[in-house]
Structure 1
């Protein structure tokens, strides 16, 4: 007896959407049919060439009308307008999920427009690379990485079961959080580190007459701590606009932490500086021992 074929529509076949497509085609082959929508025809052609989707089109109706599950992976501020665009073409019982890095903003808007027979299950695969676009996609991008599923958006158990039966093929470590806690935790573990990495690059840019000499000294430490500053600026601007309260609060806390180090350095308080580095080393080393169960900050 043949298994029922699932139809998946990926809106935004870039790094995340493309990696999901590559993974599921690799695992399920002809048991899944994947349609895709990209920003440009060139991207759609590349997505088909790489095998991330079976069919790509700029026609939204053609992409989503037969979809059992719709996976949204554009920048956060484009998710709600995209849902408004695709809603007229979705079949009854369709499941909408997403890869948005912030959840509260999206759900506040979607709950006002979703009909009772279309279900939204918020998701956030906490993985990525400093590169973007479908050419950066990898079929094993999700393996071992945290993948948050938010369960308080009113979708029935059978919808959750159907989505998870598909997503389990990613090899991700799934965890559940409520929406508010997700946004607070994502700010600490992902959003603020991106702001900080960009700040370090900005510091280099503002080093004035020392810049050329500083550049000659760049090594692994600078490259490692600033790697994520090469991420997509459009995506990160949207994240800051949709999780601004949590990001600002945690940046102020970070500012206080840096301020205490500044004071210790100015006062030549070696013990305070030593304690600062010792505490952070112990905490990071402890986290790495259980890395498979922790959020990946990429």
Structure 2
């Protein structure tokens, strides 16, 4: 079996977890190089086994790569591709873990030569912790992993990439670019913004802040857990998926407006119906989703 050569750009939580999963599954049948900025991060990436070799030298990392996995913050992906382009070999396959797809796709298709292929991807997984120290070989297992089905990419290229990514044991699905970005806004991006808003609400409680802190329990911790995620990553996501996020936030604002009106008017039935409908719908959504994906 010919050894696959994979380059990971950004050996953090996602990139590191990918490396761990593939080394666990393929062993010596895959050689993984990783691009790291500092000596400390290089040592950490190699010490945990996420990569076989780490460097800050672009040519050393991507020069022989069959597949390049891009997992830096979203706004760094296109500039990074511009930097590595001179070193990519003919037939190289690029894929990414970016949480927004339309922005990256349009930018890369303006700069990629015909002999380099881009297959957009988005693993719907993560943790509130970041860095390769938080990486785990099981991060992708059972989680939804979106692949954008681009008809301009040869089928054999897709098959080669998928033959590798399936070793993550994720559940793969396909969406078009616009649909992905709309759905990601509802399922992932707005919930992160809402969690951060709840923390901000607490922080603005003025003279009640100390008393509020004494009351914090599981409910607040559970609903705000994702507010501990990486700020740079989420700022980039908002900048590159602005319209779907803003549209969903306005819809959320309208829903909260309806609840405000019902609460102020003392309309218990309306408030009861709001909670009952959301409970019923959430239970049915999760039941249906769990038949296809691990949603934990």
TM range (shorter): over 0.9
- Give 1:43 shift: 1.1
Task: Answer yes or no: is the 8 Å Cα contact 2:59–2:84 preserved in 1.
Answer: yes
Structure 1, unaligned runs of 5 or more: none
Quick one: distance in 2 between partners of 1:274 and 1:55?
58
Q: Secondary structure at the match of 1:70?
A: strand
- Indicate the RMSD between aligned Cα atoms, in angstroms: 1.2
Q: 1:123 Cα deviation (Å)?
A: 0.1
Counterpart residue number, 1:218: 216
* CA distance in structure 2 between the aligned counterparts of 1:18 and 1:204, rounded to whole angstroms: 34
Length, aligned pairs only: 296
TM-score (norm 2): 0.98
- The 1:163/1:293 distance shift into structure 2, 3 A limit, reads farther
Q: Compute the displacement of 1:292 (Å).
A: 3.4
**Contact 1:103–1:122 (CA<8 Å) still a contact in 2?**
yes
| Matched position secondary structure for 2:110 | coil
Q: What SS class does the counterpart of residue 120 from structure 2 fall into? A: strand
Distance 2:283 2:159 in 1: 36
- Residue 91 of structure 2: aligned partner: 93
Q: Which moved more, 1:31-40 or 1:95-104?
A: 31-40
Q: Contact conserved, 2:100 with 2:241, CA < 8 A, in 1?
A: yes
Contact 1:14/1:38, CA 8 A, preserved across alignment: no
Equivalent residue of 1:10, what SS? strand
Contact 1:48/1:55 (CA < 8 Å) preserved in 2? Answer: yes
| Alpha-carbon distance in structure 2 between the residues aligned to 1:26 and 1:261 | 50
- Counterpart residue number, 2:170: 172
CA deviation vs aligned residue, 1:96-137 (integer Å, no higher than 9, x gap): 000000011001111111110100000000000000000000
- Please say if residues 122 and 153 of structure 1, whose CA atoms lie closer than 8 Å, have aligned partners that are also in contact: no
> Contact 2:143–2:295 at 8 Å: present in 1 too?
no
Instruction: Provide the residue aligned with 2:104 in structure 1.
Output: 106
Distance, in Å, in 2 between the alignment partners of 1:292 and 1:282 is 16
1-structure distance, mates of 2:118, 2:159:
13
Tell me by how many angstroms 1:253 deviates: 0.2
Q: CA deviation at 1:38?
A: 2.0
Residue of structure 2 aligned with 1:208, choices 199, 206, 209: 206
8 A contact 1:145–1:292 mirrored in 2: no
TM-score relative to the length of structure 1:
0.97
